[in-house]
Amino acid sequence: MSEHTRTTVFGASAIVTLALMLYASMSLPAFGEFTGPYTKAVLAEATRLRHVDNVPTAINFDIRGFDTLGEEFIFFTSVAGVLLLFSAAKAAAPPAPEPMEIGDQRANTGAIRWFFAGVTALIAAMGVSVAAHGSLTPGGGFQGGAIFGSAIVCVYLAMGTRAMDVAGNHTFFTALDALGAFSFGAIGVATGLATGSFLGNSLGLGRTGSLVSGGTIYVINGFVFLEIASGFIVLLTAFIKQMRQLQEEQQ
Amino acid sequence: MNVLAYLPYAVSFWIFAMGCYGLVRCRNLIAAVLALAVAQSSTYVLLLSIGFHKQAGAPIFSPTNPVGSPAVDPIVQALTLTDIVVGATVSALILALSIQIHRRTSCIDPERLSPMSE
Amino acid sequence: MSTTFVRLVPAFSVAVPLMAAAVLAPFTRCCTRAVSSVVTTVACGLVLGMTLFLLFYSSAHGTIVHWMGGWEPSHGTAIGISFAVDPMGAGLAAFVALLVLCATVYTWIAVDLVGTLLHVLLLAFLGAMCGYALTGDLFNMFVWFELMTAAAIALTSHKIEEASSISGAINLAVTNSLGGFLVLFGIALLYGKTDALNLAQIGEALAKQPIDAALTASFALIVCGYFVKGAVAPFHFWLDDAHAVAPTPVCLLFSGIMVQLALYGVARIYFGAFAASFAPHVCAIGGLFLGVGIATALLGALMAYAQRHLKRLLAFSTVSHSGMFVAAIGLFQPGAIAATALFIAAHGLVKSALFVCAGTYLNRFRSLDECVLGGRGREAPANSAMFLIGGVALAACPPFAISVAKAAFDRAMDARGLAAVSLLMALVSAIDAGAVLRSGLHITFGIGNAQDTGISPREEEPETIGDHLESTPWTMLAVPAALLALALWLGVDERIWHGIERAGAVFVDRHSYVGAVLGGHSLPLPDASGPKQTAVSLTLNLSATALAIAIALAGLFRHRIPRQLKVASRPFAFLRNLHSGKFADYVAYLMVGVAAYGCWLVVALPR
């Protein structure tokens, strides 16, 4: 179809669909009026039964933990897919001996490098903190892992490719990624054999309000943090390397 | 009938339509990935607006906000949270595909990519 | 065998392949292909064993229910995620495991694996499909659906030598992601109405509410979203692009079971959640499914006939069969559901065998083009023989299982007074089986003129190490042979059909499903003993096969047909132009489809 025809066809059907969906949403409860038995049950029981203040964390890693297992493996599969695409394309390209840094290397004086090293440490620490306090405050393994993973970009920007390769060692972090994914499944299997229900919470629950609370929630939270952080580090380093290869090919 | 009561739902449908419009009109694969991300974010808007409860706080309890105080729906929040991270990685997959196309053909215009059908 | 352990088996059958994938992934560079093949095959074998066990146990003792994390329902409200395994779900999961095992066996010898990531992705795909088939929770189904999409994108882009290959993967990624978003919209709307994510719970909540526009819209969105993956018109355009570029084991899985699982999902959601409130309006919904099914079946068959690329031809044949499945599901009767289940299994076996044969042609002769391969089939006699047998089986030739499924399908249609539809479907399947036979005959014997579309043939990269294979490895012969033998056995053994009939009766029974999931009491299967095949259906199937062969020969010798009898080529050209290969077009068609489905349902159902 020509672009014009396509846009017209799309536009007409999108208007019809929008109208239908607007009409349908009139039958929903009004914004702010939502309530129901599932919500009430979860809000009432989650903290009492699992000693966790952050109810979404309890839902993610315990009540609906099986969903999170699947989501974690979606993440894992996408990272594997990206690595597959890039490794197949690498072929015989040898690593460039003296890669040109973004920005003149000589201009990165010691002071700027130390400053960015500090910023990287800050980002990493924040990531770990957000993940560690998953039971208490908004946060958890997913969010903390994403923050931690982004620190590798800071390393690259401040100190260049070689520092990024050292800090974000590919083999180490792919292994850690796989370990995180595997452990979630293993915890499920182990708790299944121990308690008779897959992902049943069978560890000591701790005191509500303390850092380590929630039993298996905390353990799974930790493994998810490991997996997401390493996954993002692997992804970002792979993309940055691809970008450099493209730049070198264009020169 | 209070229009504002249904505005958030309308906004999410509109965002979805815009994301799809971006996919239909884009001339650049990177723009296509971004349009897909926009379409995905519309699902988050809908989920979170459905779970909202007036005059209720976050479903995170503490000594100052004890269990039993009104809170919004935590379930949709949990669903959205994991979906965001996952959406980022699927975008990464499609971006990786776009990079591979660029390497082969130096072209990322979906209109001009070599025709597939026979 | 303690029931506690039995209830863990469904969760294990999803967790084991996922954990195996995680174990294999870090060793991609240092692992030999032998080690990774062994790990993958063992994992597939384990899952097959577990799902077969689930099938037999649930047939004997009723639906197996397991609440993850021990979160049993409190006061009738489901809190955790439940796995509700009835014989239909377990049977599908076992079939999934079987096909992934076949795909793995295919990769044992000579197939070029980029590191071992193909096996990692296959295992993740297996885990996702098992989870999808076994779960009883709406959002959990969506999560496994998303994992299937992510794995499918990565698997399709396995051969990335050419830009057009990557285009196929991008088309799949964009359309299937949009399908996922539509499903999520539907889930959100349904959640807004019922505050429940468990299928049985939603069913109970909807039974007490009148139908309104939000429920209709959520049903429409969920159906559209799953129909994207189910390759139903107008959401099917991504399928042939993906098949054209994906490696053979991946094509096998896509056409063999992935597409059909999405249709199973729609049926499961209807019978578990919507049946109570939509039951008075089942004719309206059935009308939509029937209309869409017929259109898809026709479209798929015609496009299949117009192809000369083997994998695209088979892909369009899958689209055509998807249409038949949707039409059958639209009857919403236990007999029709049972017929669809057998049809899915039989079609999956035969189509997978055909894909493997096509893959062997690719690896031996570096081409998938019917014209280029003309006559070369004699150099691979066993393979060509199996390709022809597969084509005949696809044409519903007795005693292969597709003929039994067709007979049941016809009975279900006739019971509702839709005999004309079943005749039309027989014609449609004759056309697409005829296309397969046409290419098979031309490739094997070199007779006649193959499809001439005026496009120059291109060489394809084989999937094996090295330039091309001199002889066919035993794995590439054993897999289609085993699949075709299974298709024969399914058609011959009476007990299979009776078991499927009973499973169908359980599948549509919402009360026993809710009782098992929320109430904890499972009932064993009811008895059923319908006829397997009557003399009338035998005759019909034999004539359908003869018609398919006639169509194949007509295609080969069309220069000898008088001009007046030739079918006009204009409709073909128009259909071809629709399948442009650009995802922007596909998104536009998707929106048209959503608008059309939505209009029909909102108008036909009460507001």
| ipTM value for the complex | 0.95
Query: Residue holding tokens 């393979």?
Result: C383
**pTM as predicted:** 0.94
Q: Which among C25, C139, C185 has the least Cβ separation from residue A80?
A: C25
Amino acid type, B75:
I
Query: Residue holding tokens 């117009």?
Result: C306
The structural architecture, per CATH, of the domain B9-56+68-105 is Orthogonal Bundle (1.10)
B51, closest residue in chain A (CA to CA): A34
Contact criterion met (CB < 8 Å) for B90 and A21: no
Beta C82-85 vs C64-67: how paired, if at all? antiparallel
* Boundaries of domain holding C216: 3-604
In this predicted structure, the answer to whether residue A93 has a pLDDT above a threshold of 50 is: no
Which segment of A38-42, A46-50, C459-463 scores lowest on mean pLDDT? C459-463
| pLDDT reported for residue A106 | 43
Hey, of B46, B99, B103, which one would you mutate to test binding to chain A, going by the most A CBs within 10 A of its CB? B99
Name every chain A residue with its beta carbon within 8 A of the beta carbon of C160.
85, 88-89
| pLDDT reported for residue C339 | 92
Q: Which among B16, B76, B97 has the least Cβ separation from residue C166?
A: B97
Whole-number Å distance between alpha carbons of C600 and C429: 27
Give the pLDDT band of residue A96 (cuts 50, 70, 90): very low
Chain A nearest-CA distance from C452, in A, is 24
Average pLDDT over residues A227-236: 93
Q: In 10 A of CB C460, how many CB atoms?
A: 22
Q: Which residues contact A60 (CB under 8 A, 6 or more apart)?
A: A67, A68, A140, A142, B78, B81, B82
Contact criterion met (CB < 8 Å) for C25 and A85: no
Name every chain C residue with its beta carbon within 8 A of the beta carbon of B75.
191, 197
Whole-number Å distance between alpha carbons of B50 and B76: 8
Q: Is C572 on the interface with B (CB under 8 A)?
A: no
Q: How many domains does chain C have?
A: 1
| pLDDT reported for residue C216 | 93
Average pLDDT over residues A190-215: 82
Q: Is B29 on the interface with C (CB under 8 A)?
A: yes
| pLDDT reported for residue C510 | 86
Touching subunits of B (3+ CB pairs, under 8 Å) are A, C
Q: Is B43 on the interface with C (CB under 8 A)?
A: yes
| pLDDT reported for residue C529 | 67
Cis peptide before C17 (omega within 30 of 0): no
CB C106 within 8 A of CB C122: no
Contact criterion met (CB < 8 Å) for A178 and C23: yes
B87, closest residue in chain A (CA to CA): A75
C578, closest residue in chain A (CA to CA): A1
Name every chain A residue with its beta carbon within 8 A of the beta carbon of C212.
27
Chain A nearest-CA distance from C262, in A, is 17
Touching subunits of A (3+ CB pairs, under 8 Å) are B, C
| pLDDT reported for residue B101 | 84
Top pLDDT among C1 and A231 is at: A231
CB C263 within 8 A of CB C326: yes
A167 to A68, A100, A112, A228, C537: CA distances (angstroms): 28, 19, 18, 16, 69
Q: Is B87 on the interface with A (CB under 8 A)?
A: no
Average pLDDT over residues A107-134: 86
Split chain C (607 residues) into runs of 10 and give each run's mean pLDDT.
83 95 86 86 95 92 88 86 92 96 89 77 95 95 95 86 78 94 95 91 90 92 96 92 90 94 96 89 91 94 89 94 95 92 95 94 86 84 91 89 90 87 91 92 80 59 73 86 93 87 88 85 72 76 88 79 60 80 92 95 85
